[in-house]
Structure 1
Amino acid sequence: MPQIEEAQPKYLQIAHHIRDQILRGDLKPGDEVPSERQLAADWTVSRPTAARSLEVLSHQGLVEKRQGSGTYVRGLAVNRRARELYGRAKQTGKIYTPGEYAVITSAGWLEAPDYVAEALSVAPGSRAVHRRRVTKDASGPIAISTSWFSDEVGGRAPKLLDPERIEEGTLMYVENMTRRQGSYAEDRMCARLATEDEVSDLELDAGSAVLIVHHVVYDVRDRPLEFAEATYPPGRWAFEQGYPIG
């Protein structure tokens, strides 16, 4: 008989909390993370439990311990996916970290491709609002993403048609305008060769592989609210939650 899973071990909860801060950009490369003593006090756990949480982050390559100094965030190239972007927007009101910015390359009404119509649960051939953006930082382009919304959402959120940036993030804006709250999301990932447009926008060599993520946000009534397709260049890591296998 299947069993309901218990809460994750405390050391993993602490590690995931700090990991999320790193992936959101709240903790940046070179920043010091809380010490074992501080974590033990903040989370009301033992020092060995706090130390184990830092070991998890170290094994994931997110932090490094400097003898006699402390534990610091490593300068690891990381793909900040929708989960981290949305978490940052909720926490700070801004979706991008300092130094990051997005260029909206197209916005407006289009006939939804079949896979987009299916994800949004609308009829094939329906019109939908799209917003395509290239995200960049000091190193150059780091992601391409296109968000899609149904006709009903597009009619209630007019800024989606404007090629100007939406500072609080597209999803938070849509939630505010439609009064539909995002409840959960599902991601599907695959790798493939970059298209000509992706090679150009991400400044890649022809024949490069890219990571593709299809991301669907559902509201509290289990209705699709947003479908997003993101393309990430090679050489950058994406992280998921750790999980027990015993």
Structure 2
Amino acid sequence: MPKIQEVLPKYLQIANHYRDQITRGDLKPGDKLPSERQIAEEWEVVRPTAEKALNSLEGQGLVERRQGSGTYVLTQKVAVRARERYARVRQFGKIYAPGWYAVIKSAELVAAPDHVAEALGVGVGDQVIRRARVTHNDADLPVEMSISWADGSLAEVAPNLLVAERIRMGSVGYVESVTGRTASHARDQFAARAATDEERETLGLSGTDAAVLAYRHTVYDQDDKPLEYAEAAYPPGAWAVDQVYLID
């Protein structure tokens, strides 16, 4: 019979707390993390537990531990996952961390392709909103190509979706604000595949056999109806799948 999983070890809970702050951009490259002593006091754990947490972050390539100086956040190439973006919007009212930005390449009404129609629960060929963007990190490197799709019926109540400019609160937050619908849960799907010609050019990939991580993200509202469907491609070095779990 199914078992209730035990909570993660304390050092992983601490490491995940700081990892989330780093990937959201709350802690920026060069910022100094609390010392082992400070972490031990704040989290009410022993020093070796605090040390394991910092070592875990270092092993993930998120921080650098400098002898006699402290622990510092490294520049991140990893693209921010949707869940971190939602957390930033909820907390700060904006979707990107300082230094990160997106360029909206197009925003238009188009006929829904088969897979988009299925994801949004509309008919094939129905009008849907298509927003294409390229996201850059704080080192001005392109780390994500993405397209977000929404039901074309939103064009009248959410006209900014058809403007090729950034929406500060993100497209999902904007739709929430003008419709009263609430993003409740989401489904993420990942698969590695060969890069398209456009992806190789935009993301600066070399070689005809370059690979990307393809990402599909569907957001559902409180009534379990699709709110937005998005597709993204990440280059090598910016792959963003990171899971920590217990093995029974």
User: TM-score over 0.5 for the alignment?
Assistant: yes
Measured in 2, the distance between the counterparts of 1:8 and 1:203 equals 38
SS in structure 2 opposite 1:165? coil
Aligned residue pairs total: 246
Alignment of 1:227-238 (within 5 A): 227-238=229-240
Alignment of 1:113-128 (within 5 A): 113-128=113-128
Q: Residues 16 and 241 of structure 1 are in contact (CA less than 8 Å); yes or no, is this contact kept in structure 2?
A: no
Measured in 1, the distance between the counterparts of 2:30 and 2:128 equals 42
Measured in 2, the distance between the counterparts of 1:217 and 1:164 equals 21
Q: Residues 78 and 143 of structure 2 are in contact (CA less than 8 Å); yes or no, is this contact kept in structure 1?
A: no
Residue 140 of structure 1 aligns with which residue?
Answer: 141
Q: What is the RMSD computed on CA atoms of the aligned residues?
A: 1.8
Change (3 A) 1:9 1:155: farther
Alignment of 1:73-112 (within 5 A): 73-112=73-112
Query: Shift of the alpha carbon at 1:195?
Result: 1.3
Query: Shift of the alpha carbon at 1:148?
Result: 0.6
Q: Please say if 1:149 is aligned against 2:112.
A: no
Residue 37 of structure 2 aligns with which residue?
Answer: 37
Percent of pairs with identical residues: 55
Residue 184 of structure 2 aligns with which residue?
Answer: 183
Query: Shift of the alpha carbon at 1:123?
Result: 2.2
Change (3 A) 1:126 1:4: farther
Measured in 2, the distance between the counterparts of 1:212 and 1:237 equals 9
Deviates more, 1:18-27 or 1:74-83: 74-83
Measured in 2, the distance between the counterparts of 1:221 and 1:7 equals 30
Query: Shift of the alpha carbon at 1:174?
Result: 1.2
Measured in 2, the distance between the counterparts of 1:192 and 1:237 equals 13
SS in structure 2 opposite 1:105? strand
Q: Residues 213 and 239 of structure 2 are in contact (CA less than 8 Å); yes or no, is this contact kept in structure 1?
A: no
Query: Shift of the alpha carbon at 1:133?
Result: 0.6
Measured in 1, the distance between the counterparts of 2:42 and 2:234 equals 36
Q: Residues 112 and 123 of structure 2 are in contact (CA less than 8 Å); yes or no, is this contact kept in structure 1?
A: no
Query: Shift of the alpha carbon at 1:76?
Result: 4.1
Residue 245 of structure 2 aligns with which residue?
Answer: 243
Superposed CA offset, 1:49-71 (max 9, x none): 32222222122222221111111
Q: Which amino acid aligns with 1:185?
A: A
Structure 1: unaligned runs, 5 residues or longer: none
Q: Which amino acid aligns with 1:42?
A: E
Superposed CA offset, 1:146-196 (max 9, x none): 111113333321110111111121111111112111122111111112212
Query: Shift of the alpha carbon at 1:48?
Result: 2.9
Residue 222 of structure 1 aligns with which residue?
Answer: 224
Q: Which amino acid aligns with 1:152?
A: S
Q: Which amino acid aligns with 2:176?
A: E
Relative to the length of structure 2, the TM-score reads 0.91
Measured in 2, the distance between the counterparts of 1:183 and 1:52 equals 34
Measured in 1, the distance between the counterparts of 2:61 and 2:202 equals 28
Change (3 A) 1:34 1:153: farther
Change (3 A) 1:139 1:7: same
Query: Shift of the alpha carbon at 1:98?
Result: 2.5
Superposed CA offset, 1:183-226 (max 9, x none): 22111111112212222222322422111110111122222111
Q: Which amino acid aligns with 2:225?
A: R
Moved over 6 A (4+): none
Measured in 2, the distance between the counterparts of 1:209 and 1:176 equals 37
Structure 2: unaligned runs, 5 residues or longer: none
Q: Which amino acid aligns with 1:59?
A: G
Q: Residues 129 and 162 of structure 2 are in contact (CA less than 8 Å); yes or no, is this contact kept in structure 1?
A: yes
Relative to the length of structure 1, the TM-score reads 0.92
Measured in 2, the distance between the counterparts of 1:37 and 1:118 equals 52
